[in-house]
Amino acid sequence: MSTVVPPAPRSATFAPTPSSRASALAPTPRWWRDATLATAWGLVLFVVALWVAGGGVADLTSFASGMTSLGRVTGLVASVLLLLQVALMARIPIVEQAWGQDELARVHRLVGNTSFYLMVAHIVLIIVGYNASGGLGIIGTFLDEVLNSPGMLLALAGTLALCLVVVTSIRAARARLRYESWHLLHLYAYLGAGLALPHQLWTGADFLSSTTATVFWWGLYLAVLGCVIAFRIVRPLWLSSRHQLRVADVVTEAPGVTSVVVRGRDLHWLAARGGQFFQWRFVDGPGWTRANPYSLSAAPDGRSLRITVAEIGDSSRRLRDLRPGTRVLVEGPYGRLHAGTKVARKSVLIGAGIGITPLRALLEELPGGPDETVLIHRVSTRADLVLESEIDALAQQRGARAISVIGHRRTDRASWLPVDLAHIDDAAALRHVVPDIAERDVFICGHPDWMDTVIAAALAAGVPREAIHHERFTY
């Protein structure tokens, strides 16, 4: 049965956000995204230009040299894309803020798959070209290259590691793996890149043909390596050391749902915003080295951070057993599900299940005022209304409307509505609850498939695509 929580009275008083520093931060510059995209394309085009300058086009005149030349250019582009993929994994703040978690994950998959296919094409074309001029046969040529060319054994090992990453990244394979196992296997991408690329620096003609090429490739390798070291190792250690984060309290919010409050010093310098997430490591025993993304469930106040997590795996189940004083290591903040991405004055927050937690934090930081914000919480049963009393109190305080939509999912078609509202169109339901939704920002968080239905409904209701903000936490 669907239930609607009555809206807060229009005369309700509203208070300023408790996190004034985070709210005062300027919106994320939109040109960051254009700049990072232009840089990536510039690197790819420069690599192709190096191939052309090195006689790549001229070598296409015969079959043997043509296959070898095509193998060279596919290898070059695969190499630069592999380095860009590693850079995307480095969690560079400007890149993460420019794209956000959702888009960054999509671009990461696109770049990674393209790089892998080009790498396979590079191997096939090179072997075919060498065989055409050497006559050892495909297998003989392959074995000769692997056994006798400098760095080729390492390249073969790196290629196999990258194959493992690609295979385990397929959705069907991911569904069979625990997050912890997938996370460990995905780190093989670093190993694969580290082993697959050096042979090109040692023997590749396009790497050694000119001073410009040599300086470019070595500079690019060192820059990417520097980003990984700086942002995946040094920065998290520095943040955790500076802020001295420790578990302050552990609260059971509902069966299978736990909140963890973390305190530290000078937390306002983290510049975190309601709706963002950190990568968390709780130093409580074996397995602490694996980071997990958890959103803030309360707006940062400069003194503490809070997450609220549903138990869906080994790492999340461990949170209920954390003890006060446990050391905490963090990376972040990350994500574009915050007030700095707004393009309109009013907002709609739509969350499903535990996905309501970052929206509850965001509610604290959005401008208060009568009907400035509408929050919709979609759950299967009333027992799933996590943080309900907090949300109702915040809505009353800030003049917002808080609405609960309760009922089990439909099975006849994809929809964000429960089964007893099957007679209502998805977009019409949004317009019924928020008549001016086309003039608002829409923030969405929940299961990826469910979010797709909300996004489709919002677009059908007239919401501009740039006004729709969402965050996915699948791997």
Rounded to an integer, the average pLDDT of 118-131 is 87
The mean predicted confidence, pLDDT, of the chain is 82
Indicate the pLDDT class of residue 409, thresholds 50, 70 and 90: confident
Cis preceding linkage at 333, omega within 30:
yes
Rounded to an integer, the average pLDDT of 338-342 is 87
Task: Give which of 452, 463, 428 is closest to 346, Cα–Cα.
Answer: 463
Question: Is residue 241 classed exposed, middle or buried when 0-12, 13-18 and 19+ CB atoms within 10 A define those classes?
Answer: exposed
Taking each helix axis from N to C end, the angle separating 426-433 and 448-460, rounded to the nearest 10 degrees, works out to 70
The H or E element containing residue 39 is helix 31-53
In the structure encoding, which two tokens stand for residue 305, read together? Answer: 């951070």
Interatomic CA distance for residues 245 and 383, integer angstroms = 32
> Within 270-327, where are the H helices?
314-318
In single-letter form, the type of residue at position 247 comes to V
Q: Give residue 32's pLDDT.
A: 78
Interatomic CA distance for residues 56 and 66, integer angstroms = 8
Interatomic CA distance for residues 414 and 422, integer angstroms = 11
Rounded to an integer, the average pLDDT of 53-69 is 85
Q: What is the pLDDT of residues 356-373, one digit of tens each?
A: 999 999 999 888 888 899
DSSP sequence for 97-151? HHHHHHHHHHHHHHHHHHHHHHHHHHHHHHHHHHHHHH-S-HHHHHHHHHHHSTT
In single-letter form, the type of residue at position 363 comes to L
Q: What is the pLDDT of residues 441-462, one digit of tens each?
A: 999 998 888 999 999 999 999 9
Q: Strand 257-263 relative to strand 304-310: parallel, antiparallel, unpaired?
A: antiparallel
Rounded to an integer, the average pLDDT of 247-265 is 92
Q: What is the pLDDT of residues 428-445, one digit of tens each?
A: 999 999 999 999 999 999
Interatomic CA distance for residues 106 and 112, integer angstroms = 10
Indicate the pLDDT class of residue 374, thresholds 50, 70 and 90: very high
Query: ∠ CA(360), CA(25), CA(274), 5° rounding?
Result: 15
In the structure encoding, which two tokens stand for residue 184, read together? Answer: 């460990």
**pLDDT at residue 67 greater than cutoff 50:** yes
Is there a contact between 393 and 372 (Cβ–Cβ < 8 Å)? no
Q: Give residue 327's pLDDT.
A: 94
Q: Give residue 122's pLDDT.
A: 86
% the chain with pLDDT above 70: 83
Domains of the chain: 30-238 (1.20.120), 241-334 (2.40.30.10), 339-471 (3.40.50.80)
Which stretch of 54-63, 248-257, 339-348 has the lowest confidence by average pLDDT? 54-63
DSSP collapsed to 3 states, 153-222? HHHHHHHHHHHHHHHHHCHHHHHHCCHHHHHHHHCHHHHHHHHHCHHHHHHCHHHHCCHHHHHHHHHHHH
